[in-house]
Amino acid sequence: MPREFDFLGALVPGLLPVFLLSAVVHIGLDWACGHYGVYRYVWHRSLFRICMLICVFGLLNALLIK
Amino acid sequence: MSALTDRLMSRPVWLRLAGRARRTGRDWLDSEGPRWTFVVKTLIAAFLALWIAFCLGFDSPRSAMMTVFIVALPSSGMALEKGVYRLLGTLVGCVAALGFVGMFPQQAMLLFISLAIWAGLCTAGSALMRNARSYGFVLAGYTACMIALPALSRPLDVFDLAVSRATEISLGILCSAFVNDVLFPRHQSEELVQKLRGLYLSFATLCSESMQHLLPEAELERRHLDFATDVAALESQRAASVFEAGDIRIRSRQLHAFSLAAMAALTTFHTLHQLMERLRRAGGSTIPQLMQPLFNEFNTAMLIGDGLARTAAEAEHTRLRFNALFRSMPGLIEATRRRHAPALDEAQMLDLETALELLQRLGAEFRSLVSIYASLPANLARIEADAAALPPAYSQTTPPGIVLAAGLRNGLALLILASAWYALNWPSAAGAVMIATIFCGLASSSPEPHRIIHSTTLGFTLATPFAFFCAFFMLNRVEGFDMLVLSMLPFLAAGAYLSTWPLYAGVGVGFNLMFAQMVAPENLMRFNAISFINDSMAQIIGLLIAGLMFALILPEHRQGSRRHIREALWHEASLACITVSPHLRHLFENRIRDLLNQLGMIRIFDEATRAIVNEAMVLLELGHAVISLRRATAAHADTPPEVRQGIEALARYFRQPQARTRQAAIAAAGAAMDRCQVVAATNLLADLHLIRTCLLDTTFDPDTRPKENDNAA
């Protein structure tokens, strides 16, 4: 993924699609954590959740952005 | 003096003072703590958004700040929910604006008409839903106007306008979500648990009081309205909790099942209660006395010690007792029947059979309610087992007349005002158009649009002099972001604190919005007193015009309008006679409760409201009897044709509630009963008897009821 790309004539930062992708992955992870009761063992559920989002976003950035 | 007093007296003064201070402090924390937490978190989120917007060099940083004030709500779940729908609405609105400007660049009238249609459609969607989603609809409508109207003179800028608007809103939402959910979490799911317990407790209390004859007369209608409000509140809290980290979202199905079970049990209870009341009113019937021992059994099974189950753990005990009751019930019923049958004539026997049938249904429904309640905190592995029975979700729908009126009002308002703006040549008038459109949309999902507009106008008007003072006497002397925060903080803190009082919430939110809008903090501040005065006047005039629109265009068609709700009730009852759906019973129940909830929104409990609630409850009884009859006739192909004719006659009566159709329905039900007795189809008799008694009940007569005065609402 380049740093910026041309989307229908508008320059879009490459981070935006990566962020959207990580949001989708995060929604799936969040659902799974709720379903398998992970949140029961977590002290601060919201903090845990946002940290998860940051980890996913960072990981995808490291993997996808050139 | 005793030793204790001596010791107390000998305590140093500072220790006693410290104790008193601690008590005072705790009192203050309990009452004022949540309010100030709200103020602190709102302001942190607002200035965080403003700071990031300054750093990134946004065109109008105030939009990010205003977004924070708009989505500031007490609980994390509610703030996240509103934020998500605000974001979605903004994105949809931006895309729509790009489309409209692309289609009609510099064609004022065509653009206005298309925007009016779009805003009207969005507002109609919002009036239809009446939940957090309706906010997203309103936003999609007015965002399109906010972007397309300024783009009229410079169409090439429309893309930049849309992108900056979407970016600013997203920034505000992200900041607000972060602060509300991570720094100051206040979980909606905990309040949800309280609401759930309250719902069970109020229903069980109602049953218990009725069975012991402790229920005051005229109290029943109010309880039904409260119950409908509680069910709707439970649903809205569930919808908000879904956005929080936790397991509410996988328990949604259980919660739906719980409210459906509670509604079904309440209806059966009401039918039984009304049957007993009618027999008592008629006098001379011994059936209520005969049933009393069974009622006592039921009542004892509900009690734990001398109270009702307050938590899910206690409900587990109730569940076990109801399982026991369920096993002994057939024996008790058979014994009652055998003992009293010889002394009763045919009509009384019919009453007894109907009452016994209803009691059995109530027992089964109460048992399933208690089982769902008891299984709520259980491990999720148990839920998967009964996931097959998928209950329909509680859905809110407003009667079509009100929805259409809301859409029409907003579309017309936009069209008239935008044309006036075009002809008027007052540059600030665009602000008035925008504000009027926004509030026509926002207030249309409320039963009291005038109250909303009135309190926001008050907030706007109050904020104007303070904003003037802050902008022209403070901000022009200071330098740097920290000084900007210090100058704006006291005003915004006052506004945020005001919005924590339910009575002044609108004033507080209006104050902060207007303040941020007029002070307009930007990287390069512009101090222009003339445009300040023009813009602030335009904002207030816009609000007044929105109020005028509500008064002028279809003022009677508002949320909670009793005439519309009454028509919708009869329409739903007629649908219950013809619709084919596996969940018809739950759908019908949902619809009637939702309409009752809308009736409860107007918070006027007078004779007219009571009469409509009474009518709704009789229609609910009739509808359920018809649905149960239809289910029985669908299962047996050899049902006598008179039963089907009876259902048709009833459907005709629901479509045209008149004395003539009513007599026809009574006669058809009677004929069907005679026929059923001949062919010994006893399973249908109880339902037919219920229909006939409901129709014969003289307190339920829509013709003789005095016309209600809708202006009172």
Domain boundaries, chain A: 4-64
CA separation for the pair B222, B612 (Å, rounded): 11
The tokens of B535 are what? 């813009």
Would the pLDDT of B711 be above 50? no
Residue A46: which of B76, B249, B379 has the nearest Cβ? B76
- Classified as helix, coil or strand, B308 is strand
Question: Nearest-CA distance from B373 to chain A in Å?
Answer: 19
Would the pLDDT of B9 be above 70? no
Contact A46 B185 (CB under 8 A): yes
Instruction: Please check whether residue B297 is in contact with residue B321, taking contact to mean a CB–CB distance below 8 angstroms.
Output: no
Contact A46 B245 (CB under 8 A): yes
Closest CA to B279 of B712, B689, B713, B708: B689
List, for residues B392-409, the tens digit of each pLDDT value: 777 788 888 899 999 999
Residue A34: which of B76, B182, B247 has the nearest Cβ? B247
Cβ within 8 Å of B, A 24-53? 30-31, 33-35, 37, 39-40, 44-50
CA separation for the pair B521, B50 (Å, rounded): 8
Domains belonging to chain B, first-starting first, are: 9-186+397-446+448-552 (no CATH), 188-243+248-379 (1.20.58), 562-712 (no CATH)
Between B161 and B523, whose confidence is greater?
B161
End-to-end CA distance of chain B: 66
List, for residues B47-98, the tens digit of each pLDDT value: 999 999 999 999 889 999 999 999 998 889 999 999 999 999 999 999 999 9
Cβ neighbours of residue B311 closer than 8 Å, sequence gap 6 or more: B197
pLDDT value at residue B5:
57
Q: How many CA atoms lie within 13 A of B57 on its CB side?
A: 0
DSSP one-letter string for B634-660: HH-TT--HHHHHHHHHHHHHHHS--HH
End-to-end CA distance of chain A: 6
Residue A46: which of B182, B249, B250 has the nearest Cβ? B182
What is the mean pLDDT of the segment spanning B525-547?
90
Would the pLDDT of B516 be above 90? yes
C-alpha triplet B246, B252, B257: angle, nearest 5°:
145
- Give CA B530 to chain center in angstroms: 44
Contacting residues of A for B379, CB less than 8 Å apart: 37
Instruction: Please check whether residue A25 is in contact with residue A59, taking contact to mean a CB–CB distance below 8 angstroms.
Output: no
Question: Which residues are B307's β-sheet partners?
Answer: B304
Contacting residues of A for B246, CB less than 8 Å apart: 34, 39, 45
Of all helices (H) and strands (E), which one includes residue B303?
strand B303-304
Q: Name the residue with tokens 């977590």.
A: A42
CA separation for the pair A35, B335 (Å, rounded): 48
Instruction: Please check whether residue B205 is in contact with residue B251, taking contact to mean a CB–CB distance below 8 angstroms.
Output: no
DSSP one-letter string for A9-61: TEEEETHHHHHHHHHHHHHHHHHHHHHTTGGGG-S-HHHHHHHHHHHHHHHHH
Question: Nearest-CA distance from B392 to chain A in Å?
Answer: 21
Residue B245: which of A10, A37, A48 has the nearest Cβ? A48
What pLDDT tens digit does each residue of chain A (66 aa) get? Answer: 778 888 888 888 888 899 999 999 999 999 888 888 888 888 888 899 999 999 999 999 999 887
Distances (CA, A) of B288 to B204, B272, B285, B296, B660: 20, 11, 7, 12, 32
Contacting residues of B for A44, CB less than 8 Å apart: 182, 185
Q: Which residue of A has its CA nearest to B250?
A: A35
Say how many CB pairs under 8 Å bridge A and B: 40
Contact B246 A34 (CB under 8 A): yes
Q: Is residue B83 packed enough to be buried (19+ CB in 10 Å), middle (13-18) or exposed (0-12)? A: buried
Contacting residues of B for A23, CB less than 8 Å apart: none
Would the pLDDT of B705 be above 60? no
Would the pLDDT of B708 be above 60? no
**Residue type (1 letter), B470:** C
Which of the four pLDDT bands, split at 50, 70 and 90, describes residue B212?
Answer: confident
DSSP one-letter string for B204-254: HHHHHHHHTT-PPTT-HHHHHHHHHHHHHHHHHHHHHHTTSSSSHHHHHHH
CA separation for the pair B586, B178 (Å, rounded): 39
Highest mean pLDDT among B166-180, B217-231, B632-646, B671-685: B166-180
pLDDT value at residue B534:
92
List, for residues B354-386, the tens digit of each pLDDT value: 888 888 888 888 888 888 888 887 655 555 545
Contacting residues of A for B249, CB less than 8 Å apart: 31, 34
Q: Which residue of B has its CA nearest to A41?
A: B246
* For testing contact with chain B, the best of A15, A40, A45, A48 (most B CBs within 10 A): A45
pLDDT value at residue B710:
43
Of all helices (H) and strands (E), which one includes residue B321?
helix B312-340
CA separation for the pair A25, B540 (Å, rounded): 45
Contacting residues of A for B182, CB less than 8 Å apart: 44, 46-47, 50
Q: Which residue of A has its CA nearest to B163?
A: A10
Which of the four pLDDT bands, split at 50, 70 and 90, describes residue B390?
Answer: low
Contact A34 B245 (CB under 8 A): yes
pLDDT value at residue B585:
85
Distances (CA, A) of B462 to A31, B194, B491, B508: 45, 38, 11, 10
- Give CA B24 to chain center in angstroms: 37
pLDDT value at residue B283:
75
Which of the four pLDDT bands, split at 50, 70 and 90, describes residue B331?
Answer: confident
B147-179 burial, b at 16+ Cβ within 10 Å, e below that, comes to bbbebbeebeebbebbebbbbbbbbbbbbbbbb
Contact A34 B249 (CB under 8 A): yes
Between B399 and B700, whose confidence is greater?
B399
Contact A34 B182 (CB under 8 A): no
Residue B245: which of A35, A37, A49 has the nearest Cβ? A49
Q: Which residue of A has its CA nearest to B186?
A: A46
Residue A39: which of B159, B181, B247 has the nearest Cβ? B247
Residue A50: which of B182, B244, B250 has the nearest Cβ? B182
pLDDT value at residue B221:
80
* For testing contact with chain B, the best of A33, A38, A46, A57 (most B CBs within 10 A): A46
Instruction: Please check whether residue B177 is in contact with residue B80, taking contact to mean a CB–CB distance below 8 angstroms.
Output: yes
Closest CA to B201 of B177, B244, B179, B230: B230
Contacting residues of B for A40, CB less than 8 Å apart: 247
Q: Which residue of B has its CA nearest to A34?
A: B247
List, for residues B618-673, the tens digit of each pLDDT value: 898 889 889 988 888 887 777 788 888 888 888 998 888 888 888 888 888 888 88
Instruction: Please check whether residue B267 is in contact with residue B235, taking contact to mean a CB–CB distance below 8 angstroms.
Output: no
Would the pLDDT of B141 be above 90? yes
What does the mean pLDDT of chain B come to?
Answer: 86
Contact A45 B247 (CB under 8 A): no
- Classified as helix, coil or strand, B309 is coil
Q: Which residues of B touch A (CB under 8 A)?
A: 76, 159, 178, 181-182, 185, 244-250, 379-380
Distances (CA, A) of B246 to A15, A53, A54: 28, 15, 18
Contact B245 A37 (CB under 8 A): no
CA separation for the pair B424, B312 (Å, rounded): 64
Number of other CB atoms surrounding residue B310 within 10 Å: 14
Question: Running DSSP on this structure, what letter comes out for residue B602?
Answer: T
Would the pLDDT of B453 be above 90? yes
- Classified as helix, coil or strand, B304 is strand
Closest CA to B445 of B557, B541, B545: B557
Question: Nearest-CA distance from A48 to chain B in Å?
Answer: 9
Question: Nearest-CA distance from B231 to chain A in Å?
Answer: 24
- pLDDT over 70 percentage in chain B: 94
Contact B185 A45 (CB under 8 A): yes
B271-292 burial, b at 16+ Cβ within 10 Å, e below that, comes to bbbbbbbbbeeeeebebbebbe
pLDDT value at residue B547:
92
Contacting residues of B for A46, CB less than 8 Å apart: 76, 181-182, 185, 244-245
